[in-house]
Amino acid sequence: MVMKALSQKFLPKARLQEFKGKLLELGELFAPVQEGDVAAIRRIESPGEIVDDFDQTQNNLRAVIEPQNEVILTFKDTLKPSLTEQLPAENKRIVLWCRPCDARALSPLDDNFDDALLPDPYYLRRRKSTTIIGLGCEKPFPFCFCGSVGGNPFSTDNLDVMMTRIKDGYIFEPLTKRGKDLEAQLASLFSEITVEQKDFLLEIQGKSRTLLPRTAPNPEMVHANLGKLFDSPLWKKWGDKCIGCGICTLLCPTCWCFDITDVETRGKGYRIRTWDSCQFPLFTLHTSGHNPRPTKASRVRQRVMHKYRYHPVNYAGRIACVGCGRCTELCPEDIDLIEILNDIMKAGEQQ
């Protein structure tokens, strides 16, 4: 869904570094940096670290709002424990140039962590203190299929600001009160948008939808077919290719699984929350030795079922895939999610 912008301003390219510097003054800043051949979202110490020309970042907003490792409490004296909860500081945080698919991925994460009965304070403190500035995809990336799962290259879901790169600068569009407040704080950097720039913006946004390189089956039809394919041989076909590395889940912006570990030494200790993956064989291993998902086929099935079947059932029809394509692009065995979905459609027709 594309929301109507509250206003539109132009940020000249000549003032871009000043823009980055002012954001850094306003709070903890996270933005794309170059790391070898890939871009990644990292905490920024200096405006010069931020890259302007980048493709999809290898990581995503999950790494900012639910870190891969975090201490959630400390304890002393294991005989008479003294526990101290380690809640995140409620500092203002800003994410610069989040891709629209990654912002959309916050909705499934919110479904899980912002539960009415068991809200997660670690996630929610960061979520509520974070301003998200998006960057539209004027040219979508080779593995993207956001248009097949309800998104588009300029979706504004969960964004406070949308930015679009145009000739000689950027269009800055606040979408929420938080975004409007940010515009006011940076007002000296902006100029009014011209009619020519507005027309160019609309042209870029319209053209981007025609450039999406991939198309996936209708998610509602996938959902319906999955209901009758739990025991299908297609899972073994894809399970035989999988090596269980978990990269598909660890880089997925909508995955949320984690493990809890207590680390103790000399009477002091830490309880640490760490990302986990349903693709690991130990993920479902019981202390009895029984494992309800003992094969790679059953674990591949779980990943696809969760995204397209279980999450929609539990959360009002929302699928847990935003079409970013990372799981396909970075799989060392070339397991293609869209090919799996196509197999599901074929198998469903044969039932």
The rounded radius of gyration (Å) of the Cα atoms in the chain is 22
Within a domain: 177: yes
Residue 3 covered by a domain? no
> Are residues 188 and 63 located together in one domain of the fold?
yes
Structure-block tokens of residue 316: 């009002």
Q: Give me the pLDDT at residue 267, please.
A: 77
Strand 130-135, strand 9-12: pairing: unpaired
What pLDDT is stored for residue 76 in this prediction?
86
Domain identity same for 230 and 178 = no
Residues 24, 124 share a domain:
yes
Domain end marker among 210, 227, 244 = 210
Please count the structural domains in the chain. 2
Whether 46 and 142 map to the same domain: the answer is: yes
Cβ atoms of 250 and 277 within 8 Å: the answer is: yes
Do 196 and 231 lie in one domain? The reply is no
| Residues 321 and 288 reside in one and the same domain | yes
Residue 332 lies in a domain: yes
Task: Say yes or no: 72 and 164 in one domain.
Answer: yes
Helices 337-350, 296-305: axis angle to 10 degrees equals 90
Q: Please tell me the total number of residues recorded for the chain in this structure.
A: 351
Say what the pTM is: 0.94
166: number of CA atoms within 13 Å, CB side? 22
Which tokens in the block code for residue 223?
């959902």
Give yes or no: residues 201 and 296 share one domain. no
Q: Print the domain residue range for 19.
A: 9-210
* Contact residues for 309 (Cβ-Cβ < 8 A; gap 6+): 223, 226, 227
Among 146, 176, 210, identify where a domain stops.
Answer: 210
Residue 247: inside a domain:
yes
Report how far residue 271's alpha carbon sits from residue 224's, in angstroms, rounded to the nearest whole number: 41
Cβ atoms of residues 103 and 159 within 8 Å: yes
* Beta strand ranges found along 13-168 (DSSP E): 28-35, 38-43, 69-76, 82-85, 93-98, 130-135, 161-166
Distance between CA 255 and CA 276 in Å, rounded? 9
Residues 149 and 255 in one domain: no
The answer for residues whose C-beta is within 8 angstroms of residue 247's C-beta and 6 or more apart is 327, 330, 331, 332
Of 180, 210, 240, the position where a domain reaches its end is 210
Indicate whether 40 and 177 sit together in one domain.
yes
What confidence score (pLDDT) does residue 5 get? 55
Any domain includes 232: yes
Same domain, residue pair 226 and 334: yes
The Cα 159–Cα 175 span in angstroms is 7
Q: Profile the chain (351 residues) by mean pLDDT over runs of 10 residues.
A: 68 97 97 96 97 94 96 84 90 97 98 94 96 96 97 97 96 97 97 95 94 97 97 97 97 97 87 97 96 97 98 95 97 98 95 76
Please check whether residue 289 lies inside any domain of the structure: yes
Both 197 and 243 in one domain: the answer is no
Asked whether residue 190 is domain-assigned, the answer is: yes
Q: Measure the CA–CA gap between 135 and 19, rounded to whole angstroms.
A: 15
CA separation (Å) from 176 to 137, 271, 338? 20, 36, 34
pLDDT at residue 4, rounded to an integer: 53
Place of tokens 């610069």: 96
Question: Is 42 part of a structural domain of the chain?
Answer: yes
H or E segment at 265? strand 258-265
Tell me what pLDDT residue 113 has: 97
